[in-house]
């Protein structure tokens, strides 16, 4: 209403974004996830059980649809113009990158590798998870379509995360629990970047891209080359 204080609206916006973060974090735990059922020594059944292949695949589909896409509610002009949210683009970029970083944690990737090695039958593999992430975040490159600013931010973050996995040594807890350099993680990451580069080259060969998208794809190609060259 005219003249009404919009502090409540600003608080509501922040609360919705916080709820979005928590929900995406919860869904992410399904990928490479493990159920734990506490039992005494005389109770039957397993204590640890992998999240099912189907549930992990559904979780990835959900993340691509709701975490890595650009939601209209986050950039509703009617709301942002009333709460002076001048940093909405940067705020949501940070939220999306947080989900991506969580998804790509070395210990999560290591659990996917471990699960595949121990599986008796079908299991959700790290390769399928990595393919789904790349295809979701970089769908415009595969489809030779133009990008918008929020997607470009996320796509650059993807390259940065993959570069860290390929060239940087984990620190803290991850350094003690996961040897990325000797696992299957790095060859898979390298392959994903090589596939992405081919998709970008194919998109740039067309003539339907606008200037911003072309600049972005060319920059992404340079970044990928620097990462791959640095790992030689």
pLDDT tens readout for residues 111-128: 999 999 887 778 999 999
Segment 45-49 shows an average pLDDT of 56
**pLDDT at residue 47, rounded to an integer:** 42
Confidence at residue 40, expressed as pLDDT on a 0 to 100 scale: 56
Closest CA to 165 of 227, 93, 84: 227
Q: What is the mean pLDDT of the chain?
A: 87
Other CB atoms within 10 Å distance of the CB of residue 213: 21
- pLDDT: is 155 or 172 the higher one? 155
CA 24 to chain centre: 11
* pLDDT digits 0-9 by tens, 25-38: 999 999 999 866 55
Average pLDDT over residues 124-139: 98
Mean pLDDT of 200-217: 96
Residue 2: per-residue pLDDT: 47
Q: Where are the beta strands (DSSP E) in the chain?
A: 34-36, 48-50
- Per DSSP, 72 falls in state G
Q: Residue 14's pLDDT band (boundaries 50, 70, 90)? A: confident
Neighbours of 37 (CB within 10 A): 10
| % of the chain exceeding 70 in pLDDT | 83
Q: Which of 36-45, 97-106, 125-134 has the lowest mean pLDDT?
A: 36-45
Q: Where are the domains of the chain?
A: 7-230
């Amino acid at each position: 209403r005219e003249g009404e204080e919009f502090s409540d609206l600003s608080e509501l916006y922040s609360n919705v974004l916080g709820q979005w973060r928590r929900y995406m974090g919860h869904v992410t735990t399904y990928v490479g996830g493990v159920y734990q059922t506490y039992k005494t020594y005389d109770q039957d059944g397993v204590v640890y059980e992998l999240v099912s292949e189907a549930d992990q695949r559904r979780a990835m589909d959900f993340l691509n649809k709701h975490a890595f896409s650009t939601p209209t509610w986050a950039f509703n002009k009617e709301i942002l113009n009333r709460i002076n949210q001048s940093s909405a683009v940067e705020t949501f970029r940070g939220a999306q990158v947080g989900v991506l970083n969580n998804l790509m944690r070395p210990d999560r990737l290591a659990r996917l590798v471990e699960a595949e090695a121990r599986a008796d039958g079908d299991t959700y593999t790290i390769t399928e998870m990595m393919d789904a992430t790349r295809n979701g975040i970089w769908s415009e490159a595969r489809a030779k379509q133009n990008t918008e600013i929020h997607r470009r931010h996320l796509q650059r973050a993807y390259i940065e995360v993959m570069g860290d996995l390929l060239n940087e040594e984990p620190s803290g807890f991850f350094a003690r629990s996961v040897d990325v350099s000797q696992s299957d993680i790095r060859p898979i990451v390298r392959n994903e970047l090589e596939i992405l580069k081919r998709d970008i080259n194919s998109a740039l060969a067309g003539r339907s891209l606008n200037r911003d998208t072309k600049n972005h794809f060319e920059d992404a190609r340079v970044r990928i080359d620097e990462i791959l060259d640095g790992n030689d």
